[in-house]
Structure 1
Amino acid sequence: MTNRPTPGTHPLDHLVLPTGSLEVARARLSSLGFVVAPTGIHPFGTENCCVFLTDGTYLEPLAIGNEQAAINATAAGNVFVARDRLYRDSRGDEGFSAVVLGTDNADADHARFVDAGLSAGDMLSFSRAFTDTSGKSDTASFKLAFAATRGATDAFLFACQRINAPMVDRAALQAHANGASGILEVVAVSDQPAGQISLISAAVNDPTADGQGGAFLLPNATLSVLDPRSFTARFGFPVGSSTKLCFMAIVFAVRSIDATSSLLAANAIQHDIAGTDIVVRPASGQGAAFIFREIP
């Protein structure tokens, strides 16, 4: 395996973190030193409060804002809402349900997923309003194509084509007190890591990816799949119940590990040291383990 992604491999776009309450998520993420965007409302019952990073990736804490609208959307075949419900029914309202890859042709991705027997359902196109910290608004539009293995409820992946990117200034939303500038790695756990190669290689659009060493190289990050023992050895805490595939941790690049540690201590955030990393275990409103790593 080379140390570079195969040409054409999709980049990491964002991560979906289900939560029972955006208020709880906003408070938790703020205490971790992140700037949290104003609430965004989807037209199908869900809502979010995103954390945007300067590398172009972002976190999407996701809650149910309108239960009846979400029920109606699921009944109408909305895969995004249906997969969110499957995750919550399986693992509860707090967690890390999906890895999202950037694409410029979601239709082609959907066709590949169907051909590979990995499509999670119909594509989804939608628009929603986006507001920056100054109150300026624009419309964000997306087209999504979904991938998952048969019977999976703990995790899915999807390709996201940004049809219209909001013309707003995100600089203030990206100035995080903890110094986070981007996502270096996403870590998943599986009882059978090798069994996830076909799904992940299809989702990231790299048919040559073999997951050697548990790592799939993207243009802007690494997606790692570890067995439970390896995850615990690396990060210092157990993963819980067995799973085919579950996203568990996010590794962030920060400017100064000392500054990040001081901020966490000042905000009474319990954290551990694993080698040169700061590890903050999952909590309500956080969903995944957050790992902070200093990158010069």
Structure 2
Amino acid sequence: MNRTTAAGTHPLDHLVLPTQNLDVARARLTALGFVVAPTGIHPFGTENCCVFLADGTYLEPLAVGDEQAATAAIAEGNVFVARDRIYRNRHGDEGFSAVVLGTSNADADQARYVEAGISAGNMLSFSRAFTDTAGKSDIASFKLAFASESKATDAFLFACERVNAPKVDRAALHAHANSATGIVEIVAVSDRPAEQHRLISLAVGDPAAGAQGGAFHLPNATLSVLAPGSFTTRFGLPACAPTDLRFAAVVFSVRSADITSRLLAANSVKHDIAGNDIVVQPASGQGAAFIFREIQ
């Protein structure tokens, strides 16, 4: 993946998908044809079961494993856990709360966010164990800088610097039965799409981003902000409740739409066709609409 410095347009790194129960999320993602990594435990009460893609991006289904530790982390100013709590209090335990951007200098991003008045709070540095499908473990370390607007409480963005990348073989984690290879687009819904341009362009590190009709072209994906009607027209899905900004859908690239549709049918996963897209509505353990698109 093309990972830039804080001075350039940041690539997509991963997506945060709150869920109530990792076992439910794991079962749902497996039914969708994804390989799901072993559970990862954060030192502040949350836990995940990630889906890693060959293009370097990943999904982070996130649950609260230790409520007491999470509450203590919030009291200590942990923005990641605090924003997760805000999201769950407003929308329940299933959803899509954050888009995460790759950076090689989270400190510089934090300085930009503070200067622009979009910082969501203190930076966060932490490490956790990472285990691959063969049981090999290493330590993953991260440094995060958070961005949000005061009105956009349904979503936030943050820059993630991978201070230490685990030295493990992820090849088996990329071998998804649905033939998914990456993320090509993230779709957000807003009642006022144009008002989100400043936040997103500053968060991704490109003041000129979003000049093309609300499509923010990152080095490895597109982040689109649509009005509710446009979202429904494009995907045939109902838009969410009124919101300044909420992430609603993920578009995956797949090698074969036929493989994807056959797998979904075999696993009794309801899906619809919208043009060249295979559309799966959100469900427990899958907090966003998943759209599969064949890209050769």
- Give yes or no for TM over 0.5: yes
1:47-62 mapped onto 2 (5 Å cutoff): 47-62=47-62
Which residue is 2:79 aligned to?
79
Which residue is 2:101 aligned to?
101
Which residue is 2:261 aligned to?
261
Which residue is 2:46 aligned to?
46
SS of 1:212's partner is coil
Partners of 1:151 and 1:218 lie apart in 2 by 24
Which residue is 1:244 aligned to?
244
Q: Could you tell me whether the CA contact under 8 Å between 1:121 and 1:146 is conserved in 2?
A: yes
Tell which deviates more after alignment, 236-245 or 77-86.
236-245
SS of 1:293's partner is strand
Percent of aligned pairs with the same amino acid? 76
SS of 1:200's partner is helix
Which residue is 1:3 aligned to?
none
Q: Could you tell me whether the CA contact under 8 Å between 2:54 and 2:174 is conserved in 1?
A: yes
Show CA shifts across 1:207-252 (max 9, x none): 1123422200000000000000000000101113100000000000
1:204-243 mapped onto 2 (5 Å cutoff): 204-243=204-243
Q: Could you tell me whether the CA contact under 8 Å between 1:281 and 1:289 is conserved in 2?
A: yes
Partners of 1:11 and 1:190 lie apart in 2 by 22
Counterpart amino acid of residue 144 in structure 1: L
Count of aligned pairs between the two proteins: 290
Q: Stretches of 4+ moved more than 6 A in 1?
A: none
Partners of 2:284 and 2:63 lie apart in 1 by 12
Structure 1 unaligned blocks of 5 or more = 1-6
Structure 2 unaligned blocks of 5 or more = 1-6
Root-mean-square deviation (Å): 0.8
Q: Could you state the TM-score of these two structures normalised by the residue count of structure 1?
A: 0.97
* Cα shift at 1:280: 0.2
Partners of 1:57 and 1:67 lie apart in 2 by 28
Q: Could you tell me whether the CA contact under 8 Å between 2:257 and 2:292 is conserved in 1?
A: yes
Partners of 1:257 and 1:220 lie apart in 2 by 21
Q: Could you state the TM-score of these two structures normalised by the residue count of structure 2?
A: 0.97
Partners of 1:208 and 1:240 lie apart in 2 by 28
Q: Could you tell me whether the CA contact under 8 Å between 2:120 and 2:147 is conserved in 1?
A: yes
Which residue is 2:165 aligned to?
165
Q: Could you tell me whether the CA contact under 8 Å between 1:189 and 1:243 is conserved in 2?
A: yes
Partners of 2:137 and 2:113 lie apart in 1 by 34
Which residue is 1:27 aligned to?
27
Which residue is 2:189 aligned to?
189
Partners of 2:210 and 2:280 lie apart in 1 by 30
Counterpart amino acid of residue 216 in structure 1: F
Counterpart amino acid of residue 206 in structure 1: D
* Cα shift at 1:152: 2.7
Partners of 1:17 and 1:240 lie apart in 2 by 16
Q: Could you tell me whether the CA contact under 8 Å between 2:189 and 2:240 is conserved in 1?
A: no
Q: Could you tell me whether the CA contact under 8 Å between 2:215 and 2:222 is conserved in 1?
A: yes
Counterpart amino acid of residue 44 in structure 2: F
